[in-house]
Chains A and B, each alone.
Chain A
Amino acid sequence: MTNPTTAVGNNPAIETANGISDEGLVAPRQHLLDLDDLSAGEINDLLDSAEGMLEIAGRDNRKTPALRGKTIITMFFENSTRTRVSFEQAGKILGADVINVTASASSVSKGESLLNTVKTLQAMQIDALVVRHPHSGASYFISNHTDASVVNAGDGTHAHPTQSLLDLFTVRNHIGDMTGKKIAIVGDVLYSRVARSNILAFQKMGAEVTVSCPNTLIPDEWNLGSTLGDETGFGGLKLARNVDEAVDSADVVMALRIQQERQDAGHLPSLREYSDRWGINAQRMALANDGALLMHPGPMNEGVEISSEVAHGAQSVVEEQVRNGVAVRMAVLYTLCAPGKSTRIGNSESTSGDEA
């Protein structure tokens, strides 16, 4: 009864003011680095929370005081439009102060190390760090060197958990229970953090995931036409022989961005050939189940991995994904930074005498 987190959440006054219910709040969790350490139940709790957030984000006056007095820093070492802006928007709707740091306009460009950058920000008493970094594991590294909550907004080719949450949220809103549903992911699996996080996330929700891409863009130890064993860490993942096999009878088709540099590095003969053999177009979407969803994490290369016709067609939920991204990130930030959870120096239990 005296648990401070639930006490705040159950306060009718605050609940009314915020429009935020604490029902479904997961056990205290400091960081969100990937979804692999979340249970399906925890993921569903977050998605439930995002439902409420979506409603708030759609209001005429949507500013809430839920995270008033909290400071969130978005630290982006890679270019980004939708992820960075949606985190910023999510934080601001919740009433937090959001400060954006980009590598090119910070001391990073003067050669400051990641460690010292984090320590510098930490010294300013922040509550959450939202990190995008080109190196896999960067947010894990940072989480070891700060008291703030760390949200992984994409680390190298490893993970992008909030993208997965918004993808799950979008799919759940359309098809509900994902058990046994077929998710086809088509694109650069080798270099894609979205692919890695989404394979694990959709499998966790009971879906069957099939990927398709050129053999040069899957790890060498994977074989086209096989189903991966548990020892791979992606047990149950199906590797289609070709794109038609992947898309056939799919409930969700997800196209991933293909980068020009894959052609330059010799992974592909040309983007034109990629488009021909792996691009998602109306003909290929016709192989999927009726009403199948077409998704893309963005930014899209229209005419390469996805044709303009289907990208903006009836089955496309691409813009919905972006809208949902704000709600999902509100849920994440609220869960991690909920009132009473401050880890700042000088605040409640975290104060220790020798911290100078």
Chain B
Amino acid sequence: MHLAARKLAITGGRVIDPAQGIDRVADVLISNGKIDEVTASSEWTMLDDYEVIDASGKIVSPGFVDLHTHLRDPGQEWKETIITGTRAAACGGFTTISAMPNTDPVQDSAAVVDDVVRRSAADGLVRVLPIGAISIGQKGKQLAPMGELADSGVIGFSDDGNPVADANLMRQALSYSVELGLPIINHAEDKKIGAGGVMSAGTVATRLGLAGVPAEAETAMVARDLHLADLTKARLHIPHISTVGSLVALRTAKDSGVDVTAEVTPHHLTLSDEWVYGLKGEVPAAVGSEAYDTNTKVNPPLRSRADVEAVIDALSEGLIDIIATDHAPHAATDKVCTYNEAAHGINVLETAFSSVFQLVDTGKISVVRLIESLTAGPAAILRKDLGSLKKGFSADVAIIDPGSKWIVNPEQLESKSVNSPLAGVELTGRVVTTIYQGETVFDLNASGVFSEAKQ
């Protein structure tokens, strides 16, 4: 079979394409790796040369777009590689992911970025867009060659994990990026406030005797960055926003016309700091041996219930623009240790949709807004023809079974790492098929291309 010529009809599903305002039962027609049209079944005649995927009872969405992925490649291939990371993405319904530059070497030169781009195109199961560093070596001292990086195709700049502490360097980075038209994505955290903290400050941290990072460590830097974005008229994208205070600052800035967007992670939408007790959010009468669950250690830390409720509301109303995964795989040895020693980060790509879909089931967010925040939203920030089923767009599709129940078993994830706090948790709603450029790259139930590749 010539894949490029493959003609595919995804029939009878509830097609949700927020970029086009579509939410109806329809068929999606694909050929030559592109979307032909979204049409009612009565409006076209199926010919023999179509391969059919029956999506009745399912949701048909544009493939998800992630602006925040750690692929660990090059440099930490024991945690994840471009191959395993893109497989995990495909499993989770993501057809575009954005590789954070905190690799080794850092993606702070065209040479490194070009290598990631080349190997992603050759080995990746889905599209990988590179993010360049803001500063050389992500050290916060000297600007990386942002123009050269832009020429190599980066979609933004970030020293993720290392906040740009020097306010003037941040100002210059924002100002310099204006000509390039690309956003600065600054991990917003004042490392001096709550230095040494390993989880969010508050009742749980106090009870467990873990040093806490106050929410204000984030809020203070979000406020600084918003003022600097206003000063420079640059594009600012706030990654993994997580505090009530940050949202207040974000709203003020958006209202006054600052060119800012913000993302929230699936875990900050669904898990509070009470998960550090190790009982899936339950608060125990006495601290037990399941406490100090290192798979809950992440930066920004899991916040209070009030923060969780606030980011859900903000995403729902659009104050927060998008969901991004901050997929951060780590080796077992990075997590089988004390909480202080554990690495920050959660393995997210494969659980992302299912975990946030719980918010739809509980009525906290509409399914259309949820899908928008995973498709049209991030595509708009990228300013690329992605995240929609418009005619001529790359045929990237995620098919979701909203009733499918599964229990998360990290050992069965395609990611190389197993660092998920959701181990053993039952989730409802799951991506069952992922199509990238017209090819089935993941099929939960059949032996698709992906399944063959697995063996």
Contact = CB atoms under 8 A, between A and B. Distances in A.
B206 A233 contact: yes
B122 interface: no
A120 interface: no
Interface in B271-328: 285-289, 291-292
A121 B293 CA distance: 23
B339 A135 contact: yes
B289 to A, nearest CB: 5
B201 interface: yes
B212 interface: yes
B202 interface: yes
Given A157-B209, A232-B206, A31 B340 contact: no
Contacts of A114: 337-338, 341
Given A37-B288, A136-B209, 10 more contacts: A33-B287, A37-B286, A37-B287, A133-B338, A136-B210, A136-B292, A140-B287, A140-B289, A156-B210, A221-B203
B2 interface: no
B121 interface: no
B336 interface: yes
Contact of A137 (B201, B206, B214, B291): B291
Contacts of A234: 206-207
Given A157-B211, A221-B206, A141 B338 contact: yes
B209 A193 contact: yes
B256 interface: no
A137 B288 contact: no
B296 to A, nearest CB: 12
Interface in A201-233: 219-222, 231-233
Interface residues of A, number: 33
A182 B55 CA distance: 69
B287 A144 contact: no
A113 interface: yes
A156 B337 contact: no
A135 B202 CA distance: 18
Interface in B173-212: 201-203, 205-212
B45 interface: no
A21 B212 CA distance: 45
22 contacts: A33-B287, A114-B338, A115-B337, A134-B340, A136-B210, A136-B292, A137-B209, A137-B210, A155-B209, A156-B210, A157-B209, A158-B210, A158-B287, A193-B209, A219-B212, A221-B202, A222-B206, A232-B203, A232-B206, A232-B207, A233-B206, A234-B206
Given A34-B287, A140-B292, A220 B209 contact: no
B347 to A, nearest CB: 20
Nearest to A222: B206
Contacts of A232: 203, 206-207
A159 interface: yes
Given A141-B292, A158-B208, A219 B287 contact: no
Q: Quick one: which of A135, A155, A193, A232 has the most chain B CB within 10 A?
A: A135
Contacts, number: 88
A34 B206 contact: no
Contacts of B340: 134-136, 156
B445 interface: no
B42 interface: no
Interface string A145-159: 000000000011111
A221 B201 contact: yes
B333 interface: yes
Interface of B: 201-203, 205-212, 214, 285-289, 291-292, 333, 336-341
Contacts of B210: 136-137, 156-158
Interface of A: 31, 33-34, 36-37, 113-115, 133-138, 140-141, 143-144, 155-159, 193, 196, 219-222, 231-234
B289 A156 contact: no
A193 B209 CA distance: 7
A135 B287 contact: no
Contacts of A155: 209
Contacts of A231: 203
A36 B287 CA distance: 7
Q: Quick one: which of B203, B209, B285, B292 has the most chain A CB within 10 A?
A: B209
A140 B292 CA distance: 8
Contacts of A222: 206
A140 B206 CA distance: 16
Contact of A141 (B207, B209, B285, B337): B337
A96 to B, nearest CB: 24
A135 B203 CA distance: 18
A137 B288 CA distance: 10
B337 A220 contact: no
Q: Which 5 A-B pairs have the closest CB atoms?
A: A158-B209, A137-B292, A37-B286, A135-B338, A136-B209
A37 B203 CA distance: 18
A156 B206 contact: no
B207 to A, nearest CB: 4
Contacts of A134: 340
Contacts of B337: 113-115, 141
Contacts of B333: 113, 115
A100 B75 CA distance: 40
Contacts of A143: 289
Contacts of A137: 208-210, 291-292, 338-339
A159 to B, nearest CB: 7
A138 B209 contact: no
B208 A136 contact: yes
Q: Quick one: which of A113, A115, A140 has the most chain B CB within 10 A?
A: A140
A115 B341 CA distance: 12
Contacts of A37: 285-288
